[in-house]
Structure 1
């Protein structure tokens, strides 16, 4: 019986991985910040939900820019490197989520890595990503990076994403 219980505990942790982000205190502001691998639910914490919800709700998606992407987007993988301490991340990440939601992009394909002010996460997941500014949205196809949106879009999130995904 003990073996079955142990197996179920181990199996469930593999099948349903938990978010690995943790909350640290930002030495500069003395406010909470996320560090590590996150999930969208990480932004439901009271320290982050006010800015996430506000930016998400207020952003108006340009749906006509997204029409050509609807059939293509699910082939791509998206990695977001952000800092909850960073005003650009607090603005662009919720907006990017709204764009992805509008496209029906599968949430389980999004990897979010929250970094500290030195652009480092607790597990070293960003070491090989050459992150200089946050947020950085990394778009990949079959494991190969095809483009990035860095810090803020050149035109709009929709137009920049369209330029990356469509040739």
Structure 2
């Protein structure tokens, strides 16, 4: 099942966030609901950023939740608020967005992805 709110809008953000979002090996897990105002406001722009970054659909997993915020993966990932986006690399969480941030989902995650990649490269 998919979220209508994950239908991409036009990308109007900073293009410097697209590089980190489009890195190979990342998987995006998105919890939300089409009845949720925050999701309807934020997810189309995030979906547009993923699209502009060239992230293939098979690396974006959508998890709709019901009115009680129950659904697949909610307990496993500790999802309490929506939208929640978890970014994984090789099955390990490297970044998480929960509900709202001033810079929006794409910019918030891009910053954290870049930091996680830099940290991993420093450990090598």
Q: TM-score, normalised by structure 2?
A: 0.79
Pairwise CA RMSD of aligned residues? 2.2
- Are residue 132 (structure 1) and residue 80 (structure 2) matched? yes
Structure with more contact order per residue of length (Cα contacts < 8 Å, sep ≥ 6): 2
Q: TM-score, normalised by structure 1?
A: 0.61
Show the counterpart of 2:61.
111
1:74: Cα distance to partner?
2.4
Which runs of no fewer than 5 residues in structure 1 stay unpaired? 1-20, 22-37
Partner SS, residue 78 of structure 1: strand
Whole-Å separation in 2 of the counterparts to 1:65 and 1:101: 12
Q: After superposition, where does 1:19-38 map in structure 2 within 5 Å?
A: 21=1, 38=2
Partner SS, residue 106 of structure 2: helix
Whole-Å separation in 2 of the counterparts to 1:110 and 1:125: 14
- Of the candidates 73, 80, 104, which is equivalent to residue 156 of structure 1? 104
Q: After superposition, where does 1:1-167 map in structure 2 within 5 Å?
A: 21=1, 38=2, 43=4, 56-57=9-10, 59-67=11-19, 69=20, 73-121=23-71, 124-167=72-115
Hey, which bits of structure 1, 4+ residues long, moved more than 3 A?
none
Deviations 1:85-115 (A, max 9, x none): 1000111111111000110011111100000
Deviations 1:59-107 (A, max 9, x none): 512113334x26x622111100001110001111111110001100111
Which runs of no fewer than 5 residues in structure 2 stay unpaired? 116-124
8 Å Cα contact 1:66-1:103 kept in structure 2: yes
Partner SS, residue 73 of structure 1: coil
Gap change, CA 1:165 and 1:84, over 3 Å in 2? same
